[in-house]
Amino acid sequence: MIDRKKLVVSHAPFWHNGSSVAERHYNILFAAVPAAALGCFRYGIPAIGVVSFSIAFAIIWEWVMNLATRQAPTIGDGSAALTGLLLAMLLPATSPWWLVVVGTFLAIVIGKQIFGGIGSNPVNMVALTIAILSLSWQGHLDFNEALVNYDFGFPMVYPLAQLKHFGTAAIGSFSYMDLLLGRQIGGIGAPFGLALIVGGIYLILRGFIRWEIVISFLAGIFVTAMVFYGANAEKFADPLFHLLTGYTLMGAIFLATDDSSSPVGFIPMLIYGAVGGFMTVLIRNIGIWVDGVVLAILIANIVSPLLDKIRPKVMGEVS
Amino acid sequence: MALKTEIKIAYGVVIYFLFVGILSYTVFSADSPETPIRVMYKSATGKVLFDHKTHSGDTGYGLACKDCHHHPMEDDTDYRACGQCHIPGKAESLPKSCLECHDADEIEDTEMLNSGDAFHGQCIGCHQEFGRGPVDCAECHVK
* CB-CB under 8 Å, A81 with B53: no
A34 and chain B in contact, CB less than 8 A = no
Cα–Cα distance, B115 to B122 (Å, whole number): 10
All residue ranges of chain A with pLDDT < 50 are none
Instruction: State which H helix or E strand residue A255 sits in.
Output: none
Cα–Cα distance, B64 to B126 (Å, whole number): 13
Q: Can you say whether the dihedral through the CA atoms of B68, B72, B77, B78 is positive or negative?
A: negative
Question: Of the candidates B3, B20, B53, which has its C-beta nearest A151's C-beta?
Answer: B53
pLDDT digits (tens, 9 = 90+) for A264-311: 999 999 999 999 999 999 999 999 999 999 999 999 999 999 999 998
Cα–Cα distance, A220 to A278 (Å, whole number): 5
Cα–Cα distance, A123 to A104 (Å, whole number): 15
Q: What is the pLDDT of residue A317?
A: 66
Break chain A into its structural domains and give their ranges.
Answer: 21-307
Average pLDDT for B38-65: 86
DSSP conformation class of A314: P
* CB-CB under 8 Å, B13 with A46: no
Cα–Cα distance, A96 to A277 (Å, whole number): 31
Chain A residues touching residue B142 (CB < 8 angstroms): 161, 164-166
Cα–Cα distance, B122 to A241 (Å, whole number): 35
Residue spans of alpha helices (H) in chain A: 21-43, 45-68, 79-90, 97-105, 125-136, 143-146, 159-166, 176-180, 193-206, 211-231, 239-244, 248-250, 266-286, 293-307
Q: What is the pLDDT of residue A143?
A: 95
For chain B, what is the total number of helices (H) and then of strands (E)?
4, 3
What are φ and ψ of residue B142, in 5° steps? -125, 145
Q: What is the pLDDT of residue A314?
A: 74
pLDDT digits (tens, 9 = 90+) for A73-113: 999 999 999 999 999 999 999 999 999 999 999 999 999 99
Cβ-contact B36, B21 below 8 angstroms: no
Question: Of the candidates B9, B17, B47, which has its C-beta nearest A145's C-beta?
Answer: B47
Task: Give the contacts of A45 (CB within 8 A, at least 6 positions apart).
Answer: B24, B28, B29, B30
B64 and chain A in contact, CB less than 8 A = no
pLDDT class of B93 with cuts at 50, 70, 90? low
Burial class (CB in 10 A: 0-12, 13-18, 19+), A74: buried
Chain B residues touching residue A46 (CB < 8 angstroms): 24, 29-30
Q: What is the pLDDT of residue B98?
A: 74
* CB-CB under 8 Å, A60 with B38: no
Q: What is the pLDDT of residue A62?
A: 96
Better-predicted residue by pLDDT, A241 or B44: A241
Chain A residues touching residue B25 (CB < 8 angstroms): 49, 53, 97
Cα–Cα distance, A39 to B63 (Å, whole number): 33
Q: What is the pLDDT of residue B1?
A: 45
Asked if this assembly's ipTM is beyond 0.90, the reply is no
CATH architecture of the domain with residue range A21-307: Orthogonal Bundle (1.10)
Question: Of the candidates A52, A75, A148, which has its C-beta nearest B24's C-beta?
Answer: A52
Cα–Cα distance, A273 to A288 (Å, whole number): 22
Helix (H/G/I), strand (E/B), else coil: A141: coil
Cβ-contact A38, A195 below 8 angstroms: yes
Residue A285, CA atoms < 13 Å, CB-side half-sphere: 25
* pLDDT above 70: residue B90: no
Angstroms from B46 CA to nearest CA on chain A: 11
Chain B residues touching residue A97 (CB < 8 angstroms): 21, 25
Break chain B into its structural domains and give their ranges.
Answer: 1-30, 39-142
What are φ and ψ of residue B47, in 5° steps? -80, 150
Cβ-contact A268, A316 below 8 angstroms: no
Helix (H/G/I), strand (E/B), else coil: A150: coil
Question: Between residues 35 and 94 of chain A, which touch chain B (CB distance below 8 Å)?
Answer: 44-46, 48-49, 51-53, 55-56, 59-60, 63, 73, 75-78, 80-81
The sheet carrying B47-50 orders its strands as B39-41, B47-50, B141-142
A98 and chain B in contact, CB less than 8 A = no
What are φ and ψ of residue A135, in 5° steps? -70, -35
Chain B residues touching residue A53 (CB < 8 angstroms): 17-18, 21, 24-25
Helix (H/G/I), strand (E/B), else coil: A148: coil
* DSSP secondary structure of B42-90: --TT-EEEE-HHHHHSTTTT---HHHH--SSSS-SS-PPPGGGTS-TT-
> Which residue of chain B comes nearest to A60, CA vs CA?
B14
B81 and chain A in contact, CB less than 8 A = no
A230 and chain B in contact, CB less than 8 A = no
Angstroms from A28 CA to nearest CA on chain B: 16
Cα–Cα distance, A186 to A161 (Å, whole number): 10
CATH architecture of the domain with residue range B39-142: Alpha-Beta Complex (3.90)
* CB-CB under 8 Å, B40 with A97: no
Chain B residues touching residue A45 (CB < 8 angstroms): 24, 28-30
B30 and chain A in contact, CB less than 8 A = yes
